[in-house]
Amino acid sequence: MQVSKMAAGLIGSEIIRIGNQVSEQVRQGANICNLTIGDFDSKIFPIPAGLTAGIIQAYQAGMTNYPPAAGMGDLRQSVSDFLKTRQGLDYNANDILIAGGSRPLIYATYRALLDEGDRAIFPLPSWNNNHYCHLVGATAVAVPTLPSTNFMPTAADLAPHVAGANLLALCSPLNPTGTVFTKEGLEEICDLVIAENKRRGPDEKPLYILYDQIYWLLTFGAAQHYDPVSLRPELRDYVIYIDGISKCFAATGVRVGYSFGPATIIDKMKSILGHVGAWAPKAEQVATGKFLPETAAVDAFLTSIKGRLQTSLTALFDGLKELKAQGYPVDAVAPAGAIYLTAKIDVLGRTAPDGTVLTTTAELTSYLIAEAKLALVPFSAFGSPATEPWFRASVGAETVDSIVAALPRLKAALDKLK
């Protein structure tokens, strides 16, 4: 059977592969601390009660037919008001596109802006940009980042690559690292893009920014969220935002995402997704449109979920730092946002009890699942080399007690290595 070159060249998800390993262990009776999936266990982190009630009411009211392709008007207005109140961003309802989560919106951005062979810049590690480049035939320009900048790209990192590029994909808080842009760091990148677009002639396509801020309401401690247009209003015509309720309201399965940006781009994205049919369910849209203006309920939920997520992230961070203090080759980056912790487990080259030499983080991942009953995702799943000892730990699907209980098992598994 013949398939397209695009389909034939698609790479399977490393996260799904790891998930299958975990599922097999669980099937055999193992109790795994599963920190792989960027999701929430709804028993631990249920969605807001008001949102649940609104969805049920909308279904009972018969909201089961097609919604408008661009999204329900009331929801788009609620998003517009929410952005203005919460972030100071002034986008009207017509500048907003609703879809079934953020993934269709990212795809539509790539599809609307890039022709085959156009260059898209993104940092390593980052989530799925390499796959979106493949889907649209764009040339991927993956830029490695460093632990010294918390794996956030800098203007100096990006500067050698902007000439001739048409898309710069950024995310903050960043999946997979749980780190954020500093104000100064993002300003320097914005100025780089501004200078590049001023350099280009009137017949050249500009350099756009795809700014994924799906985790922006989940920041911790002194960390703050910054965005390009707030810092540099002159970028308004060049920034497409990706946002939604999936992460901030633990509502990954509710499938309500939204994008906003320059009207000419958003209108083309509306046409693309209109043909794809990637809209969010009507009842969920109606309920979200009613919930977002409920300021007290939204604030109460965000305060609760942020506190609980930070407790889980801090427990893992402190546990890894304690192991480091005991002389183990592990480390962690202080969590600043999202639901992720960056962990370092630097034992490649050592030998497992069965005689296997651990040469890649994929092999180390399998070893930790088997020996420590702890599942992490190596940064190699996000484009980094398989020999870099960094991992993503996602805390949305495990309790604090489960995370704490996994740390002694990790220590014991490390003790078995030679």
The model's confidence at residue 223, banded by pLDDT at 50, 70 and 90, is very high
Q: Are residues 249 and 331 in the same domain?
A: no
Choosing from 266, 294, 322, the residue where a domain stops is 294
- At residue 1, does pLDDT exceed 90? no
Domain that holds residue 10: 5-45+299-415
CB of 307 within 8 A of CB of 94? no
Mean per-residue pLDDT of the chain: 96
Q: CATH no. for residue 305?
A: 3.90.1150.10
Q: What would the pLDDT profile of 254-297 be if each residue is shown by its tens digit?
A: 999 999 999 999 999 999 999 999 999 999 999 999 999 999 99
Question: Is the model's pLDDT at 29 over the cut of 90?
Answer: no
The answer on 101 and 72 residing in a single domain is: yes
Give me the half-sphere count of Cα atoms (radius 13 Å) on the Cβ side of residue 50: 15
Judgement on whether residues 266 and 303 belong to the same structural domain of the protein: no
Domains held by the chain: number: 2
- 237 and 153 within one domain: yes
Do 271 and 343 belong to one domain? no
Q: What is the mean pLDDT of residues 328-338?
A: 98
Last residue of a domain, one of 238, 270, 294: 294
The confidence score (pLDDT) of residue 340 equals 98
Last residue of a domain, one of 237, 263, 294: 294
Residue 18 pLDDT > 90: no
Domain of residue 251, CATH code: 3.40.640.10
Whether residues 277 and 306 fall in one domain: no
pLDDT of residue 267: 98
For residue 407, what is the enclosing H or E element? helix 400-415
Taking residues 326-341, report their average pLDDT: 98
Statement: residue 176 has pLDDT above 90: yes
**Are 283 and 323 found together in one domain?**
no
How far lies 330's CA from each of 237, 286, 365, in Å?
A: 44, 47, 14
Question: pLDDT > 90: what percent of the chain?
Answer: 94
Average pLDDT of span 114-122: 98
Residues 260 and 371 in one domain: no
pLDDT class of 13 with cuts at 50, 70, 90: confident
Residues 225 and 333 in one domain: no
Distance CA(35)–CA(392), nearest Å, equals 8
Q: How far apart are CA 326 and CA 271, in angstroms?
A: 57
Beta bridge partners of 169: 210
Is residue 233 domain-shared with residue 378, that is, in the same domain?
A: no
